[in-house]
């Protein structure tokens, strides 16, 4: 029967992997990591709080897509909390942690990152359903959206708690990984591969959306002259999708690959030298999400600016700017074409030329 080591402190496990945490987290490296981490966390807290407040305050955002967007902001806010907890429980402190406290530290990170990833997947599926049905918003009711949000957090919490529930190496010390000294290597392989598969599914979904919109736009362009902005929609859409996918690839793939290599017990990959930098890179995704998903929406940005400046705009101007939700502003006589264009990015590429044409007509 294997011996279990639940009563050991983390120094026992770190020493087995020859990880000198004290030397690695001192001097200039420690200062740089803490400065970047502090700045990122502050930005995550402020920007994602503004996104959540904007969705709650502005009734124009009371739609399924924006509820999911607010939940994504909440997941990123939670990621900031997890990273703050990590900063106070890392470096030389790591070796003094109990097993349960170390599980909590890593569980918070795994939960926050899984919540962000699953939420992004749900948003992608929601957009796909809407676009294929040529609608601005999906037919999701508030109850269904609430159920989806609860499910996202249930999955995230479960994934964060899996090692604590038993999938660890405390009773099989030969199976311990290097980056996570009490995580089983098999779990790291499972977790990294699962996330890479989810990422691949997201890529396929967004590529399918883009190809569908491009095909529909070309068909419509051959039957109507349209506006200049509408003809440029495929280009703008490609830039938006490539920004989204590029940010995710840059921020997530390196860390997932490193975890996969550690799970495969690659002893010559030098993963200990890059682990903290890839962690910062993964954290960047929570920094970039508010920019990619929110700040490109003029109405969202306007709402957040009003909250920051603590000033309200003239009501008559507000009524003139939009009599209906911001994501429906681009509706024209070419209904199906604009529905498809607007449904992809929720008003971020709305044709201002179309509005001008309507105003002059």
Residue 326 lies in a domain: no
Range of the domain at 261: 10-222+233-309
Instruction: Answer for the pair 198, 123: CB distance below 8 angstroms, yes or no.
Output: no
C-alpha dihedral sign at 275, 119, 322, 230? positive
Residue 3 lies in a domain: no
Structure tokens at 231: 């003809």
pLDDT at site 64: 82
Using one digit for the tens of pLDDT, what is the confidence trace for 171-217? 888 888 888 888 998 999 999 999 888 888 888 887 887 787 777 77
Res 150 pLDDT > 90: yes
Residue 170 lies in a domain: yes
pLDDT at site 341: 40
pLDDT at site 129: 78
Residue 29 lies in a domain: yes
Res 158 pLDDT > 90: yes
CA distances from 249 to 4, 154, 245 (A): 38, 25, 6
Residue 352 lies in a domain: no
Structure tokens at 266: 């690659």
The CATH number for 266's domain is 1.20.1070.10
Using one digit for the tens of pLDDT, what is the confidence trace for 275-322? 777 877 887 888 887 787 666 667 777 888 888 886 444 444 444 444
The count of structural domains within the chain is 1
80 alpha carbon, distance to own chain's centre: 12
d(CA 306, CA 304): 5
Residue 184 lies in a domain: yes
Residue 131 lies in a domain: yes
* Geometric angle at alpha carbon 242, from 355 and 72, rounded to 5°: 80
Residue 335 lies in a domain: no
Provide φ and ψ at 183, rounded to 5°.
-95, 140
pLDDT at site 343: 40
């Amino acid at each position: 029967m294997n011996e279990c080591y639940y009563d050991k402190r983390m120094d026992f496990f770190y020493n087995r992997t020859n990880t000198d945490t004290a030397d690695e987290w001192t001097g200039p490296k420690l200062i740089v990591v803490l400065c970047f981490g502090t700045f990122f966390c502050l930005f995550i807290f402020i920007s994602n709080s503004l996104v959540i407040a904007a969705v709650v305050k502005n009734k124009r955002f009371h739609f399924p897509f924006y509820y999911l967007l607010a939940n994504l902001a909440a997941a990123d806010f939670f990621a900031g909390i997890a990273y703050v907890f990590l900063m106070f429980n890392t470096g030389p402190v790591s070796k003094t942690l109990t097993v349960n406290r170390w599980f909590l530290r890593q569980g918070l990170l795994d939960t926050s990152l899984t919540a962000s990833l699953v939420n992004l997947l749900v948003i992608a599926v929601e957009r796909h359903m809407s676009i294929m049905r040529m609608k601005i918003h999906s037919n999701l009711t508030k109850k269904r959206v609430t159920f989806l949000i609860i499910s996202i957090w249930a999955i995230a919490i479960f994934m964060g708690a899996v090692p604590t529930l038993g999938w660890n190496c405390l009773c099989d010390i030969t199976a311990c990984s290097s980056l996570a000294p009490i995580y089983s290597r098999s779990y790291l392989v499972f977790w990294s591969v699962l996330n890479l598969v989810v990422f691949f599914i997201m890529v396929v979904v967004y590529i399918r959306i883009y190809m569908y919109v491009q095909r529909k736009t070309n068909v419509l362009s051959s039957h109507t002259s349209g506006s200049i902005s509408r003809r440029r929609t495929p280009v703008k859409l490609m830039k938006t999708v490539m920004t989204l996918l590029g940010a995710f690839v840059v921020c997530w793939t390196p860390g997932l690959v490193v975890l996969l290599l550690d799970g495969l017990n690659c002893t010559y990959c030098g993963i200990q030298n890059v682990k903290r930098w890839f962690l910062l890179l993964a954290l960047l995704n929570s920094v970039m999400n508010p920019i990619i998903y929110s700040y490109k929406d003029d109405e969202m940005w306007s709402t957040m600016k009003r909250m920051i400046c603590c000033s309200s705009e003239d009501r008559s101007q507000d009524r003139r700017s939009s009599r209906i939700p911001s994501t429906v502003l681009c509706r024209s006589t070419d209904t199906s074409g604009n529905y498809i264009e607007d449904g992809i990015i929720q008003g971020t590429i709305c044709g201002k030329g179309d509005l001008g044409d309507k105003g002059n007509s």
